[in-house]
């Protein structure tokens, strides 16, 4: 049923873990975390009628928005631009500096006892990018391609789950809430690290104030119209930090985002009379080549 339930593809990490963690048990022990995960599904089951899944969201389609994200040990950032299917007044960039108590948990040679990996930060950049796009392009049931140079992040997003229940599983749960609220479909794209220049700059330039950051960004990567810097809301920042801290917050009621209505096609009349019935043509004697 997951393909028909918006966002639920990101909610299998905890359930997968409880099954693989007790392979020979005839009865499964349900931890507090597992019970929270089951409550998420119960909430979704009670909210089915208000979240229909459009058929267009079930098949591959051209993106409305394309972007890239990146993370460093001090913060994350990225950008979004609209294709001719999407609507953005200007290309947008975002960045977010991690609080010191979060960045100090990064696993490294000097800090082997840390609880957050670099890949967790990279996944946080994807989730934050989704939240930013939802805020500034709230058109429902759109498709976004997000480029990342981190292989585990792309794999987690494609699978919708992780083998361990850490910060990555909590970040995927937050992504489930975001995609369910907006109806947005995410397609992660893997790119080489040496090609992710704009997102790299956004995730590492926290020594520059906002105005200087924009000036340098437009100097290095000019675009028309100019880049527009956007900031996550305090609620968005709190949600990301909670996920990185492995806190299972209560599932928020995911109401649809009220955004721009669908625009009529660029050609054709608004309405046409019904077509007259046409007899079917006889089958061709020779099948056409594929």
Mean pLDDT for the stretch of residues 208-222 = 96
Q: What confidence tier does 26 reach under pLDDT thresholds 50, 70, 90? A: confident
Greater confidence (155 vs 22) lies with 155
User: Number of folded domains in the chain?
Assistant: 1
Q: What value does the mean pLDDT take over residues 106-122? A: 94
Residue 257 is predicted with a pLDDT of 42
Q: How confident is the model at residue 287 (pLDDT cuts 50, 70, 90)?
A: low
116 within domain boundaries: yes
Tell whether 151 is covered by a domain.
yes
The answer to the question of residue 264 being in a domain is: no
Q: Is residue 279 part of a domain?
A: no
Bond from prior residue into 151 cis (ω within 30 degrees of 0): no
pLDDT at position 271 over 50: no
- Which residues lie closer than 8 Å to 18 by C-beta, 6 or more apart? 28, 29, 30, 31, 34
**Is 214 domain-assigned?**
yes
- Which position has the higher pLDDT, 24 or 187? 187
**Distance from C-alpha of 111 to C-alpha of 100, rounded to nearest angstrom:** 14
pLDDT tens track for 131-166: 999 999 877 788 999 999 999 999 999 999 998 889
Mean pLDDT of 155-184: 91
d(CA 191, CA 150): 8
**Average pLDDT for the chain:** 85
- Provide the domain limits for residue 108: 2-244
Within a domain: 166: yes
In a domain, 265, yes or no: no
Entry pTM: 0.83
C-beta separation of 78 from 153 below 8 A: no
Asked whether the beta carbons of 14 and 169 are under 8 A apart, the reply is yes
The CATH number covering residue 238 comes to 3.30.420.10
Instruction: Judge whether 254 lies within some domain.
Output: no
């Amino acid at each position: 049923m997951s393909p028909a339930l918006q966002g639920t593809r990101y909610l299998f990490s905890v359930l997968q873990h409880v099954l693989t963690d007790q392979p020979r048990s005839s009865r499964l022990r349900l931890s507090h975390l597992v019970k929270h995960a089951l409550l998420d599904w119960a909430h979704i089951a009670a909210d089915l009628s208000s979240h229909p899944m459009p058929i267009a969201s079930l098949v591959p389609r051209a993106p409305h928005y394309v972007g890239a994200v990146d993370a460093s040990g001090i913060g994350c950032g990225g950008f979004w631009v609209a294709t001719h299917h999407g609507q953005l007044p200007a290309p947008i960039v975002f960045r977010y500096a991690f609080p010191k108590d979060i960045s100090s948990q990064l696993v490294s040679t000097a800090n082997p006892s840390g609880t957050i990996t670099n890949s967790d930060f990279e996944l946080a950049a994807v989730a934050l990018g989704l939240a930013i796009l939802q805020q500034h392009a709230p058109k429902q049931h759109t498709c976004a391609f997000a480029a990342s140079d981190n292989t585990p992040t792309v794999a987690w997003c494609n699978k919708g789950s992780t083998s361990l229940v850490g910060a990555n599983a909590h970040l995927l749960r937050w992504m489930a809430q975001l995609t369910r609220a907006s109806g947005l479909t995410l397609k992660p794209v893997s790119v080489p690290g040496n090609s992710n220049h704009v997102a790299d700059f956004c995730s590492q330039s926290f020594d520059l104030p906002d105005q200087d950051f924009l000036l340098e960004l437009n100097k290095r990567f000019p675009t028309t119209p100019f880049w527009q810097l956007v900031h996550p809301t305090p609620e968005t920042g709190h949600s990301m930090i909670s996920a990185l801290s492995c806190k299972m917050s209560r599932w928020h009621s995911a109401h649809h985002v009220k955004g721009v209505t669908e625009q009529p096609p660029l050609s054709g009349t608004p309405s046409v009379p019904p077509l007259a019935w046409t007899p079917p043509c006889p089958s061709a004697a020779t099948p056409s080549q594929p």
